[in-house]
Structure 1
Amino acid sequence: MSDTANNPTDARIAEIVNGNDVVLFMKGTPLFPQCGFSSRAIAILDHLGVDYASVDVLQDMEIRQGIKTFSDWPTIPQLYVKGEFVGGSDIMMEMFEAGELAQLMAEAAVKPAA
C-alpha cells in the first residue's frame, strides 16, 4: 500500500478502510449499483448477511483513481475486511462459492447486518 502521509487521498481511503469492518468501493450504491460487477459484489455481501459500508467511486474521482493505487488493484469494485484488501468481484465470487468468504467474515467476527 502507498504512503498515506504524503497523499491526502490515500489518507482518506485508509480512514475509510480502517474505520469499517467491511467496506466495498463500488460503482453506484447498494440500492442502485452502476455496473454488473458491483451488483454481483453487493449480492454476495447481502447473501452473507454481513454489515458493510460502501463507497460510490463515481461520486469522487480522487477516490476512484486513488483506490486503484492504494490497493495496487486496477479494477472496481474492491472489498476490504478488517483493513485488509480481499479482491474484486471475481475473487469474491470464487471465495463465496468455495465457502471461504463466509469463513473469512466469521473469523474476522464481522457483525451481521442490522
Structure 2
Amino acid sequence: MLGLLQRCLVRQGQRSLHSGRPALMAVSSDSGVGTTQNLSESDIHQDIDKRVKKSKVVVFMKGTKEQPQCGFSNAVVQIFRMHGVDDFDTVNVLQNEGIRQGIKTYSKWPTIPQVFLDGEFIGGCDIMIQMHRSGELGETLRKAGIESQISDPPAAKDTTEETTPSTSSTNVKS
C-alpha cells in the first residue's frame, strides 16, 4: 500500500515537471478562499478557525482533493482515499497568500498540507504517512466517528525473546 503512495508521489512530481503547466495554476474551489484576500492577520486566523471548527475533516493544501497541485497534498488525499474517507473539506492555499501564510502561524507548523480532525491539528504529510503505517490513523478516525476501510495492522511482534543471547552452538574460530 505504501509503495502505491510512493509511486503516486513520484508520478505527481513527474507530471508537474513535464506537463509545462505553470506551478501556481489557479484551480476553482468551493472553499471560498478568495474572500479573505485583504483581511488582517487576526481576521484570517478567525476565518481559518471557523473553517477548522466547521468541518469534521479539513485539509489546507495546494490544490483540491479532485486536483492536488503538489505531491505532498496528493499523498494526503490518497491516504484518505485508502481509508475510504472521501467526505472531507479542502482549502486551496494557492488561491490566497493570506490563508497560505496564516495557516502556518495558526497551527505553528511550517509546511503544507495541514490536516485538522474534529478541530484538532493532526499534522502534515509526514505525520499522516506515519499514522497510516502504524495504524494510528484508522484508530484516530474511528474515535472521531469516521469509519476507516483499513483494518488495524497486525499486532506488533514481541521482540523481548530476540534480545536474549542464543544458546545454539556455532562454529567459532579461536
Please, what TM-score do these two structures have when normalized by structure 2?
A: 0.59
Structure ID, larger Rg? 2
Measure the CA separation in 2 of the matches of 1:44 and 1:111: 14
CA shift, 1:21, in A, is: 0.4
CA distance in 1, matches of 2:147, 2:70: 26
Percent of pairs identical after alignment?
Answer: 47
CA drift at 1:111: 6.4
In the other structure, the counterpart of 2:45 is 10
- Give deviations 1:9-53, integer Å, cap 9, x for gaps: 000000000000000000011121111000000000111122210
Hey, what's the Cα distance between the residues in 1 that align with 2:91 and 2:101? Answer: 13
TM-score by length of 1: 0.90
Match of 1:73 in 2: 109
Higher deviation after alignment, 82-91 or 45-54:
45-54
Q: Considering Cα pairs closer than 8 Å and 6+ residues apart, tell me whether 1 or 2 has the greater RCO.
A: 1
| Cα distance in 2 between the residues matched to 1:111 and 1:13 | 26
Aligned pair partner of 2:82 in 26, 44, 47: 47
Gaps of 5+ in 1: 1-5
Residue aligning to 2:130: 94
Q: What do the CA deviations read for 1:70-113 (whole angstroms, capped 9, x no partner)? A: 0000000000000000000000000001110111010011368x
Higher strand proportion (structure 1 or 2): 1
Contact 1:22 1:110 in 2 (8 A): no
- 2:60 maps to 25
Q: What is the aligned counterpart of 2:72 among 30, 33, 37?
A: 37
2:90 partner SS: strand
Number of residue pairs the alignment of both structures matches? 107
